[in-house]
């Protein structure tokens, strides 16, 4: 049986300095193998304590039952503030609740029908670009990044990636990714608020350029809304939605924060999952052929076609299980807790790792294996309820989760309808902002007879 690639694990005990070095290179291989079986694990540093929790009941307590008692850790999010500002991804409390009241209506189920044509056009554009790469070894993560960015700009601002502003944001974001370390000093040391954060100069410069470009897009859209000429896309919906409690809409700066988050979350995470899905299709050609046959339904731009892509949805869900784009989430408890008969003091870091939870040996049947049919078994259905959180869960579930589950299967099916993918060297998963391959994912595409 061929197993999908998985990173190695570190020894159980290493020094804090060694752990910090490993953590900076890769979140996943810095963790011990016992976490795939443990219900809870404690990590101590001179500055704070962290607890990784895998037990479904504890995960539910933190994410679903009492989310206000376990806000997002501001310590870990410090590294993203130059780009994301005070976006919904990093805020807590009443600020976060207000932001979600304005954002969520744009991603309601009925709105997906409105955005579907833009996703369709991005999928068609991706297939057309790949037609020029047949027979060549392709670094597929780059292609998926291009496609995911195209989806974001088409659905948010009704602009294809070829538009100069969209392209400038995309190009600058690639520079930001290379400069942004996953581990900022504030993640290890509880710095006081008045102390300046130590960001790399090129990280701050790149973030500032991205935000300037997004500001221009936002201001232009505000002018179109005022003139009554704005298209009915996500940006218009969000910018014209008033908070039902306060009656306020987002200011320009607040909207820039949210767009930066949408681009980071919607582009980076979707690109990661799509690239791994295509690699898994190359690794398991029988599944690839099944999806190609199913994808013959993709003839006209009709939202109803998504009900026919059942296998593609299962394949995409299995990819999210094996390669969750966000490998870890960090919360902070605001009051003393007891978890598994351990006292967890106020201010401790609670780490919920979709990577380890999705491969937990005491929860899943064949946890490291690739099996898209598992979602129709009793074990798969139970684990989907209790141990499958690629988009988080509870109140802070990603607002674009439904969006992603349309976008991913659609683009995957559209590519496989026309092309066969053949695997290159085995990629090594590493985690920085998202779970990517250490040296990229290389595939060869050939034309498929229809």
Tell me the pLDDT tens digit for each residue of 341-359.
Answer: 999 999 998 999 999 999 9
How confident is the model over 156-168, as a mean pLDDT? 92
Domain 16-447's class?
mainly alpha
Average pLDDT, the chain: 90
Q: For residue 203, what pLDDT is reported?
A: 76
pLDDT, position 178: 65
pLDDT at 181 > cutoff 70: no
Q: What is the pLDDT of residue 191?
A: 43
Across 276-285, average pLDDT: 98
Percent of the chain with pLDDT over 70: 91
**pLDDT given for residue 199 in this prediction:** 52
Q: Hey, what are 375's tokens?
A: 């979602």
Percent of the chain with pLDDT strictly greater than 90: 73
pLDDT(395) > 70:
yes
Tokens 């290159």 sit at which residue? 424
pLDDT band at residue 197 under the 50/70/90 scheme: very low
pLDDT digits (tens, 9 = 90+) for 304-329: 999 999 999 999 999 999 999 999 99
Please state, in angstroms and rounded to a whole number, the distance separating the CA atoms of residues 383 and 117.
Answer: 33
CB-based contact 85:257 (threshold 8 Å): yes
Confidence class for position 185, pLDDT limits 50, 70, 90: very low
CA dihedral 320, 323, 326, 332 (to 10 degrees): 100
Mean of pLDDT values over 211-225? 96
Question: pTM (2 decimals)?
Answer: 0.93
Q: How far apart are CA 401 and CA 391, in angstroms?
A: 6
Compute, in degrees rounded to 10, the torsion defined by CA atoms 375, 319, 161, 422: -120
d(CA 154, CA 119) in angstroms, rounded, equals 7
Q: Of residues 44 and 305, which shows the higher confidence score? A: 305
């Amino acid at each position: 049986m061929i197993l999908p690639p998985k990173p190695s694990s570190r020894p159980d005990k290493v020094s804090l300095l060694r752990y910090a070095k490993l953590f900076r290179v890769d979140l996943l291989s810095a963790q011990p193998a016992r976490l795939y079986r443990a219900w809870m694990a404690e990590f101590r540093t001179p500055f704070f304590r962290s607890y990784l929790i895998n037990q479904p009941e504890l995960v539910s307590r933190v994410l679903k039952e009492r989310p206000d008692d376990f806000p997002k850790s501001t310590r870990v999010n410090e590294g993203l503030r130059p780009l994301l500002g005070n976006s919904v991804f990093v805020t807590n409390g009443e600020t976060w609740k207000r932001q979600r009241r304005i954002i969520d209506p744009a991603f309601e189920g009925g709105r997906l029908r409105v955005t579907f044509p833009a996703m369709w056009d991005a999928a068609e554009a991706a297939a057309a670009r790949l037609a020029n790469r047949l027979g060549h070894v392709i670094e597929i993560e780059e292609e998926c990044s291009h496609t995911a960015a195209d989806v974001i700009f088409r659905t948010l601002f009704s602009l294809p990636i070829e538009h100069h502003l969209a392209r400038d944001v995309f190009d600058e974001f690639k520079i930001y990714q290379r400069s942004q370390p996953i581990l900022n000093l504030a993640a290890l040391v509880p710095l006081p608020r008045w102390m300046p954060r130590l960001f790399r100069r090129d990280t701050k410069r790149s973030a500032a350029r991205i935000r300037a470009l997004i500001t221009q897009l936002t201001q232009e859209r505000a002018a179109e809304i005022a003139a009554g000429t704005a298209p009915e896309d996500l940006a218009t919906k969000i910018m014209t939605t008033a908070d039902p409690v306060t009656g306020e809409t987002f200011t320009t700066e607040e909207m820039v924060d949210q767009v930066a988050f949408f681009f980071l979350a919607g582009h980076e995470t979707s690109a990661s999952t799509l690239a791994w899905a295509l690699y898994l299709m190359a690794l398991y050609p029988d599944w690839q052929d099944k999806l190609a046959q199913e994808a013959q339904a993709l003839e006209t731009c009709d939202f109803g076609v998504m009900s026919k892509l059942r296998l593609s949805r299962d394949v995409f869900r299995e990819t999210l299980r094996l390669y969750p784009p966000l490998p870890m989430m960090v919360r902070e408890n605001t009051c003393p807790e007891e978890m598994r008969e351990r006292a967890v003091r106020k201010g401790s870091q609670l780490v919920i790792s979709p990577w380890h939870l999705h491969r937990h040996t005491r929860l899943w049947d064949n946890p490291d294996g690739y099996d898209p049919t598992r979602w129709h078994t009793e074990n798969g259905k139970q684990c989907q309820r209790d141990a499958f959180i690629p988009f988080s869960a509870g109140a802070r579930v990603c607002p674009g989760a439904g969006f992603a589950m349309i976008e991913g299967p659609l683009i995957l099916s559209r590519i496989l309808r026309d092309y066969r993918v053949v695997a290159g060297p085995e990629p090594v998963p590493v985690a920085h902002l998202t779970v990517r391959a250490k040296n990229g994912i290389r595939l060869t595409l050939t034309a498929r007879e229809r």
